[in-house]
Structure 1
């Protein structure tokens, strides 16, 4: 049977891969500029990922890209994937409970997206997360994603610049998007057992289906395209700031909070592990080092 949605799936998956390529190139360029003359800059390591069904059948996959031990990035991962399969009853129920339309009846799904987490070498440079994705079932489709800044030592001007770039990207599509999705990020990226946010926010949205696929895809592209202008100037500005041992300890403790959030609350981590995706790719978001008092 021909899938009438196949061309849109292909377009979305290809765009996520293109965005991955642009970000990797930009990050490797920043590492090259930060590397001493004559030294070889560190580059991303690449590994294909696969999703395997319960009977061993191929259910798609993607590409895991990780750079470790850089002058700017202590660890950064940029993953893309396009996978398909069958939702578990638990996953279907969770989606229905949050009001996703069209979930009941047919548990087949297709999902594609990009996921990025950067843990910086210098404590004065902010960690960051970004993802955008498309999800499809026979009864529904939607987009989701966002980006949020996670400094362990906050510079208010950096926070303001990050949010200003996101606001402009949102306003070009709907002036109501930025305040709505900023508030959603504040609620979503919150650590209840610590009674605090994990960072200084950004934007987050999920289950976006206005009925106009082209408009929703265009907005999702705008969110992804805003990431480098929002984040790269901050990384370039802070990677060489003098730092103390106390700054490093502050950074490692903050990373502990980040790890707690991703392992306990993050919806994407839970979904990836529950649906059999490559565990190394799912857990790419964890920092290389962290500390708890």
Structure 2
């Protein structure tokens, strides 16, 4: 399992590097005369010997108002609250051995142009002495929806899932629809995508290959949409709609998101955990 953990962590890091390069290349083609955005990369650490990662954030670019692409590899002992949550989910051995290891990539992009959709993606591997599993997914969060953009995003994810099982897209789309729903608002935070967690089929390589397919699908699913919308004309009403929609995103991530809760409860860098929050939002 040590070799498998190393494979997973290295691949998440390599995917992070490719996405950062692609986003900076899109910034180079962005509209306007404002300075071209670039990522600021900050090493993060979980305690003194619990691993860490890279927090990569770009703010105030021509295309991206705020985007974070984080990679982490952490380990240690789960706090009692996190341990209890894992045990409640049926993770084997959590009542006896609270050690863990986790690695993954987490991405959230908030765009300058209100016509360009916000987006989220993450893939991860989690290990305890009693079990291992993969999780992740990707979902689109437009404030001004274009049906053709939604269709492209979902079609790309469907094609990525298909080689790994004809039923996976439908299953994980339904999971995303449920997971990214905001109960107190009675609505979804966006137009969905796919989401999965606790993936352990017993075949580590097959599960890792599927997780890589989800990660590889992100750029072809999202970049064409961002490029098509980044120069579209917008007005103050469009921007106002974007800021109100960002309020939904902030509410969801602070109240319901499993990754946010886990990151804070396990003592990871709070700025890295909360990088998903929008730079500016509005409530009415």
Structure 1 and Structure 2 fold alike (TM over 0.5):
yes
Match of 1:134 among 125, 136, 158: 125
**In 2, Cα distance between equivalents of 1:276 and 1:89:** 12
Deviation (angstroms), 1:95: 1.9
Extract unaligned runs of 5+ from structure 2: none
Q: Check 1:6–1:273 CA distance in 2 against 1; reply closer, same or farther (3 A cut).
A: same
Match of 1:246 among 217, 225, 237: 237
Corresponding residue for 1:221?
Answer: 212
CA contact (8 A) 1:123 1:251 kept: yes
**In 2, Cα distance between equivalents of 1:186 and 1:273:** 25
Extract unaligned runs of 5+ from structure 1: none
CA contact (8 A) 2:91 2:130 kept: no
The Cα offsets for residues 230-265 of structure 1, whole Å up to 9 and x where unpaired, read as: 000000000111111000000000000000000000
| Corresponding position: 1:7 with 2:6 | no
Question: What TM-score, normalized to structure 2?
Answer: 0.98
Corresponding residue for 1:119?
Answer: 110
Q: Which moved more, 1:88-97 or 1:241-250?
A: 88-97
| Corresponding position: 1:202 with 2:183 | no
Corresponding residue for 1:178?
Answer: 169
**In 2, Cα distance between equivalents of 1:97 and 1:166:** 30
CA contact (8 A) 1:147 1:204 kept: yes
Corresponding residue for 1:258?
Answer: 249
**In 2, Cα distance between equivalents of 1:59 and 1:169:** 34
Q: RMSD between aligned alpha carbons?
A: 1.1
Q: Which moved more, 1:81-90 or 1:213-222?
A: 81-90
Paired residues for 1:1-293 under 5 Å: 5-34=1-30, 41-52=36-47, 57-293=48-284
Give aligned pairs, total. Answer: 284
CA contact (8 A) 2:68 2:276 kept: yes
**In 2, Cα distance between equivalents of 1:168 and 1:101:** 33
Deviation (angstroms), 1:225: 0.2
Deviation (angstroms), 1:102: 3.9
